[in-house]
Amino acid sequence: MARHKGRGWHGRLLAAALGVTAVAAATSMWSAQANPTAARQPKAPVSVPDSPDRKVAEVSKEIVHASDRGPQGVNITIDDGPDPAWTPQVLQLLKENDTKATFCMVGTQAEAHPDLVKDVVAAGHRLCNHTVSHDTTMDTKSEAYQSKQILDAERMITKASGGVRPEYYRAPGGAFTPYSRELAASRGMRPLGWNVDSKDFERPGADAMVATVKSEISNGPTVLFHDAGGDRSQTVAALREVLPWLREQGYSFGFPVR
């Protein structure tokens, strides 16, 4: 008896629900007929924030050196930051010289200084993945280790930037492997090399750095500097002289080809 009574109660509830559905459907049909354009109105696009977990378009796995500004283009690249002491000074110099650059950031540095990452992006510069911990022996490590260094850094930099993904991958010390290049490219990060090493990491003096750039710029367009890893006052001084000199020679500043 109790089971029969229960089935009757469920039956009445189902009938009521069907009645509500029917009324809703009729109301929707009447609304569409009364306002025929409403039915054809496209839905507003949904903004989906960029994420390193989203599928991205692959790029070439070949190491790029060329500039998107052509034969007279120069790519200024700044490695190992961001750094609270030196990155703001480099950004100011780039602004004064109307120059865009590519910042190859270490994941832990980006995570520690997200405001600086956002400043770099806001100024129109591009981001490059320089791994989590800048291990220059990465090419001797396992694929699992390389993958963690690259993918974790990608997430850290993207989060710090507010959703802007790095467009390039530069192996620390140039320690690329076929695997790391292919992995980076599959994530939309073009492997990035360099043609001119300013040697600023060794702190040879600003004059020596400037002389190196002037003598080696004919080797190719991508020039390597650093904005972290210690005292970068020599780098700042060298950039202050190099940037206007390059423009005087007829070069224009661009980004590495994607």
Q: How many helices (H) and strands (E) does the chain have?
A: 9, 8
226 is catalytic: yes
Which structure tokens are listed for 75?
């790519």
Selected catalytic residue, list 125, 130, 134, 226: 226
Could you tell me which of 220, 226, 222 has the C-alpha nearest to residue 254? Answer: 222
Catalytic residue among 53, 79, 200, 207: 79
SS3 34: helix
Annotation marks residue 68 as catalytic: no
Pick from 164, 135, 167, 201: which is nearest to 49 by CA? Answer: 164
Q: How big is the chain, counted in residues?
A: 258
Position of tokens 């025929």? 36
- In angstroms, the CA 20 to CA 124 distance is 55
Query: What ranges make up the beta strands (E) of 64-180?
Result: 73-79, 101-105, 126-129, 168-169
Q: Report d(CA 175, CA 185) in Å as an integer.
A: 16
DSSP lists the bridge partners of residue 76 as: 101, 223
Cis peptide before 166 (omega within 30 of 0): no
User: Which tokens hold the place of 245?
Assistant: 């000199």
Strands (DSSP E) contained in 61-142 are 73-79, 101-105, 126-129
Residue 198 · residue 209 · CB < 8 Å: yes
**Active centre residues (catalytic):** 79, 226
